[in-house]
Amino acid sequence: MTGTEASGFEATGGSAAGAEATGAVRTASAGPGADGPDPDAASPGFRPDQLVGFRIGVTSDRRSEDLIAAFERRGADVTHAPTIRMRGVDTEGVLEEETRAIVAARPDVLLATTSYGMRRWLEAADAAGLGDDLTDALSDARILVRGPKARGAVRAAGLDDHGMSERETTTSLVDLALREGAAGRTVAVQLHGFTDPAQLQRLTDAGATVLTAAPYRWSAHEDSARVLRLIEAICCGGLDAVTFTSAPAVEALFTVAEAAGRLDELQAAFRETVVAAAVGPVTAAPLVEAQILPIVPDRFRMGALIRLTCEHLEQSAPRIDTDFGPLELRGRHALLAGTRVALTPVALALFRTLVAAEGATVARSVLAAAAPEPLDDHAVDVAISRLRQALPEPRLVATVIKRGFRLSVPR
């Protein structure tokens, strides 16, 4: 485990080594205004029909409403299935004990990793009657922060920070602490969600005495039925993209899929048809480790993730000129010469395969393999008939006698 993004969602955990070292993520600028909570109607690229036809899964728990609302305002169909839940950890006084130890030690250095975690820690200290003692102990510490949001929380508490990591990851924050010297120092670390033992060990190996405070933890979400429905939608082609705001959310999805016997199927869908959108390279790391290539904004912010997802879905929508006008496949909608129709999952799978072939003949066996349910040759013929009935122009799908079907395109 090597770090986290401070994204304004869940703070993200997980190893970034694969993602950052290999460059195996598709990073992209999300354009101007991408740092805000939502590039809304005031943004140049906003259109209320921008995502009509597209289907997006949201896996986050905290602040999921912002993501959902942003996508729905653009016309998307959104499936929400949080895979992890953020919860407090002080039911048995654990955080209070950690706080008392830090107050007694009066640390030389504080590593503040997340805005939410710092606020929650200070609030919990106040509730335990330790608020003034904690801020007094930290006032003498050299406070290093992981990003502007953590800096804001530190300053809101009346404390001064002395440096910010180059990247919004725990790895980068520890790098900064080590560059400034950790030997013989007491370093307090405000943890986020999951403990990152590799980074704590780096500090210990450098000669620091490490104390930690964990204001919150993540646990698997109790509504596993929703997660299973999300997995089904991913596997059967019912979603075009899934957003992730923390590495643990990715790992939790994989864990549920594995328990259901569908992990290979799920990961194959992400490699082939479903876009995985991660808020940053650390969140992306479990995807990269599974040979999935996610899209990642170059700014680890919700607005950037929203904008990049919108732009990617629009720009990657299949387009082709046909004998009956320009055709665009936008999620579950087919747009032919300006006429839009919605397709059923089976019809969509077959039509997507025909569009990808760009007018080449597609055998019934290939179409059957692309369908989200078992089809024999007769069932393929029936499904093609229903597809033709759903399209604005039935002749768009032509029969190639004894061979299969093809899209009617200029030859």
- To the question of domain 17-83+221-312 being in CATH 3.30.450.40, the answer is no
**Could you give the C-alpha distances from 368 to 279, 351, 378, in angstroms and in order?**
35, 12, 10
Q: What CATH number should be reported for the domain whose range is 87-218? A: 3.40.50.10090
Sign of CA dihedral 249, 251, 254, 255: negative
Q: Which two three-digit tokens encode residue 293? A: 């290539």
- CATH among 2.30.30.30, 3.30.1490.20, 1.10.220.150, 1.10.10.10 for 319-407: 1.10.10.10
Structure tokens at 32: 């101007």
Taking the model in full, what pTM does it have?
Answer: 0.70
**Over residues 47-70, mean pLDDT:** 89
Delimit the domains of the chain by residue range: 17-83+221-312, 87-218, 319-407
What was the pLDDT predicted at 118? 93
Task: Give the whole-number percent of the chain exceeding pLDDT 90.
Answer: 66
For position 31, what pLDDT does the model report? 47
| pLDDT confidence tier of residue 4, bands split at 50, 70 and 90 | very low
Place of tokens 């607005």: 303
Condensed to tens digits (0 to 9), the pLDDT of residues 186-206 reads 999 998 776 678 899 999 999
The predicted-structure confidence for 301-327, as pLDDT tens digits, reads as follows 888 999 999 999 999 999 999 999 999
Q: Phi first, then psi: what are they for 342, rounded to 5°?
A: -95, 140
- Environment class of 349 (CB within 10 Å of its CB; exposed 0-12, middle 13-18, buried 19+): buried
Q: Which residue has the tokens 């090597």?
A: 2
Mean pLDDT of the 16-24 span: 39
The reply to whether 17-83+221-312 and 87-218 are identical in fold is yes
Give me the pLDDT at residue 255, please.
84
Question: Which helix (H) or strand (E) is 89 found in, with range?
Answer: none
Helix 170-180 with 197-205: angle, nearest 10 deg: 10
Mark 12-26 as b/e (b = at least 16 C-beta within 10 Å). bbbbbbbbbeeebbb
Q: Yes or no: say if 369 and 285 are a contact pair by the CB < 8 Å rule.
A: no
Kind of pairing between the strands at 55-58 and 319-322? unpaired
For residue 13, what are its two tokens?
Answer: 């955990």
Q: CA 333, 271, 293: angle at the middle one, nearest 5?
A: 110
Instruction: Lowest mean pLDDT of 54-68, 258-272, 330-344, name the range.
Output: 54-68
